Structure 1
Amino acid sequence: MRALILNCTLKKSPERSNTQRLADVVAASLSEKGVAVESIRVVDQRIEPGVQTDMGDDWTGIHRKLLESEILVVASPTWLGMPSSVAHRVLERMDAMLSETDDEDRPVAYNRVAGVVVTGNEDGAHHVINEICGGLNEVGYTIPGQAWTYWNSGPGPGPDYTETDHGHEFSERTAATMAKNLVAVATALAKQPIPA
């Protein structure tokens, strides 16, 4: 089983990404369950705006990896209580998958599962989770129960995830549950796929 993590931080490599640090907790839990995990920092790629798969940029390679993976994790920071602009761009490009079908004429995202990781030193994590999960579900991904983890420092400005231990126990516990639920539902779909 394969998992792809799309880190939608605004920070280019090698800058430290709080979102990557929490996504890495999910990746470790998935790896413990035998899942091969790959992580891509989307902002390091050239992704044009649009709603097509092939626009002559780096999205084509990401799209191929989406189709090679049973599990997708979209990781986003919270900005103004919303997903990052990079996360929005990912969802816009995934819109093309609505018209792409597999060998049995099902949408290509069917029989794949997805979850969300959110960080931010401000509130809004549940809104970000709902926004991203809604888009992924519309494309065709199955969203298991509690397929998310998040961290924030509470209302108002404050330290980042990597600058404090506050709340890490909750975030790490929900990350492990998220990984378990993603693998369980992906396994179930592999055994009994959604029919055409």
Structure 2
Amino acid sequence: MSKPEFNSLNAIFINCTLEKSPRVSHTSRLIDVSKGIMERENVSVDEIRFIDHEVPPGEKPDMTEYGWENDEWPELFKRVMKADILVFATPIWLGDKSSVAKKLIERLDGMSDKTNEKGQAIY
């Protein structure tokens, strides 16, 4: 039996830590373990530390159209859409995800009405 090959897969990790780079966080350490497994299996891996980017809250594809001066989400979302695997990691306090993770979910939800060339939902 041949070993499965994963070299055609792309994964993206979105780190929802509250720690800006270059600070190490527990969340980044956990991501490193999972990334290492994927990289050993020849999966192409990308990573975004969400807090390092100017991404305002909101559910619109580009919040600059709604009064925000900057919004890196449109460019970050292109990276998300290139991936076959999306992993977002968050610290948990008192059973709840970080505010950064909540903002990521909000921004992902704002793209949920998008469709591909066949009219199918992109998610």
Per the normalisation by structure 1, the TM-score is 0.54
Could you say which structure has the greater relative contact order, defined with CA pairs below 8 angstroms and 6 or more residues apart? 2
SS of aligned partner of 2:47: strand
Contact 1:5 1:39 in 2 (8 A): yes
Residue 102 (structure 2) aligned to one of 73, 88, 97: 88
2:26 maps to 1:18: yes
| Residues 10 and 43 in structure 2, CA contact (< 8 A), matched pair in contact too | yes
Which residue number in structure 1 is paired with residue 40 of structure 2?
32
In the alignment, structure 1 residue 65 sits paired with structure 2 residue 79: yes
- The answer to whether the Cα contact below 8 Å between 2:11 and 2:83 also exists between their aligned partners in 1 is yes
Tell me the C-alpha RMSD between the 2 structures: 0.9
Residue 54 of structure 2: aligned partner: 46
Aligned residues of 2:15 and 2:49 also touching (Cα < 8 A): yes
Match of 2:116 in 1: 102
Whether the 8 Å contact between 1:7 and 1:76 is mirrored in structure 2 is yes
What is the number of equivalent residue pairs in this alignment?
Answer: 109
Q: Which runs of 5+ in 2 are unaligned?
A: 1-8, 65-70
CA distances 1:21-70 after superposition (whole Å, capped 9, x unpaired): 11111111111221110111100001101001212411111110111111
Helix, strand or coil: the match of 2:86? strand
Matches within 5 A, 1:80-159: 80-109=94-123
4+ aligned runs moved over 2 Å, structure 1: none
Paired residues of 1:27 and 1:37 also in contact (CA < 8 A): yes
